[in-house]
Structure 1
């Protein structure tokens, strides 16, 4: 990823929460949790007393759950205080166990560096965001993990098509080299999908600003699109694309990506030209 694209992606990601309308609170909550998990992990990784240990972090509904092993009660309490200091964390479920012989990361071969772990977390958050924004995958019960550019998807989907789409969204994410799609197809409708269907049937509105921001962010997260060269405007749910792409394949991908996002009623790409 170029430096310019990295800066643009960071700016777009930072503005997501502020641009979401009330109708998109489900997305807001999931994205906020992903950011809180990343913030806790970063704070632990930067703490010289805690970074030698493998500490897992999970955030749900304002509750941060810590698990793993540390050497002392002092380390355990310190990790809890670090998690409590993250904005949005209301409670900490400290499941860390104390083991004086707890393994330290530097004693284990192949431990990812701080930079690698940050890249893994960023890729995972990007894929989760894309799955939430897509109208065909938003309600799927899918877990995402990343290690050195290899993404593993697990959980369940209602159909082979939904499973394959999740894999395609993950593969078309900047920094992803390979996708291990372990999603099972069980034909059941998840509780998240049922809740979203109920909201859709109730006519929950999705603003044009929300759609525009998600289209732009999806382009920036894509490994096959030059998102900085595509302009996006939305009116009454209809997305108008402008600017330039490098090929007809890129143009088709830009149109299809926009069409699949929640709330999009149509896409006009007459002003999206193919560069010579």
Structure 2
């Protein structure tokens, strides 16, 4: 009985190459999958939960958020949105206001970038006319701080719903004598902190109660 032993030495390189190729393809898939998921997440992140979209919507939302903020004098600010990029023009009365305007714009749904061209003009006027104008503006700003409860509720709801960092349209808002109560669920502690911060800094808000705004 003859036993024939087949020499497969020549086949080994081919098999090795095939295994290496398959391993490479599998690794490429694993490496590319997170990027695809991340890209999808980014796309979803620019879509408002109420379905609104477009440059005009983004412009209106940013303008409103600037006007509603008690920390910003937005009378001299102008907003323009081109293909998702917001341009801020005009005057900020401090570096803090300029930074906050940038932050509010960046946090708004539909905004993919911010070009902050605000000029900071924070020097004190030296003429009587300049001082009178500043005093008048300060008085107008003080009056603007007084808002009705329905106005506060509507503004806070819109402020929260347009925030990409909060990511919820269904936070319940109630206002009584300037005290705002927030109720609902958010995805993280950071989102909760942001909701409380934006509400606190809305015109007319005296106090924020957020015990019923929970992280889920």
TM over 0.5: yes
Q: 2:98 is paired with a residue of what secondary structure?
A: helix
Partner of 1:128: 63
Q: Taking structure 1 as reference, are residues 221 and 195 closer, same or farther at Cα in structure 2, changes over 3 Å only?
A: farther
- The structure-2 alpha-carbon separation of the partners of 1:180 and 1:200, relative to structure 1 and needing over 3 Å to count, comes to closer
Choose which of 203, 207, 210 in structure 2 pairs with 1:262.
203
Q: List aligned pairs for 1:81-100, cutoff 5 A.
A: none
Query: Larger RCO: Structure 1 or Structure 2 (Cα < 8 Å, ≥ 6 residues apart)?
Result: 2
TM-aligned CA deviation for residue 225 of structure 1: 1.7
TM-score computed with the length of structure 2 as normaliser: 0.68
Find the aligned partners of 2:165 and 2:174 in 1 and give their Cα distance: 21
Match of 2:76 among 141, 144, 148: 141
In the comparison of the two structures, how many residue pairs are matched? 164
- Give the Cα separation in 2 of the matches to 1:218 and 1:132: 11
Residue 218 of structure 1 corresponds to which residue in structure 2? 159
| SS, match of residue 105 in structure 2 | helix
Is the 1:139–1:192 contact (alpha carbons within 8 Å) kept by the matching residues of 2? no
1:5 deviates by 1.1
2:168 equivalent among 208, 227, 235: 227
Q: 1:228 to 1:207 in 2, by over 3 A?
A: same
- Give per-residue Cα distances to partners, 1:172-206, cap 9 Å, x unaligned: 10010111111111115899986553135458741
Q: For 1:201 and 1:156, how far apart are their aligned partners in 2?
A: 19
Over aligned residues, Cα RMSD in angstroms? 2.6
Matched with 1:176 is: 111
Of structures 1 and 2, the larger Rg is shown by: 2
CA distance in 2, matches of 1:147, 1:194: 36
- Cα deviation digits, residues 125-151 of structure 1 (max 9, x gap): 111111111111244411111111111
Structure 1 unaligned blocks of 5 or more: 10-117
Deviation at 1:229, TM superposition (A): 3.0
Which of 95, 103, 106 matches 1:160? 95
Q: Is the 8 A contact 2:145 2:203 kept in 1?
A: no
Q: Secondary structure at the match of 1:5?
A: coil
Large movers: runs of 4+ above 3 Å: 188-196, 199-205
- Is the 2:179–2:205 contact (alpha carbons within 8 Å) kept by the matching residues of 1? yes
- The whole-number CA distance in structure 2 between the counterparts of 1:131 and 1:150 is 16
Q: Distance in 1 between matches of 2:109 and 2:133?
A: 27
Change in Cα spacing, 1:196 to 1:212, as seen in structure 2 (3 Å) is: farther
Looking at structure 1, the residues matched to 133 and 100 of structure 2 have their Cα atoms a distance apart, in angstroms, of 18
Q: What is the aligned partner in structure 2 of residue 21 from structure 1?
A: none
Residues 226-253 of structure 1, C-alpha deviations (whole Å, 9 max, x = no match): 3323111111111111111000000000
Q: Could you tell me how far 1:156 is from its partner in structure 2?
A: 1.1
Cα shift readout 1:108-163 (whole Å, capped 9, x = no counterpart) = xxxxxxxxxx8212211111111111111244411111111111111111111000
1:63-116 CA-partner distances (Å, limit 9, x unpaired): xxxxxxxxxxxxxxxxxxxxxxxxxxxxxxxxxxxxxxxxxxxxxxxxxxxxxx
Alignment TM-score, normalising by the size of structure 1: 0.54
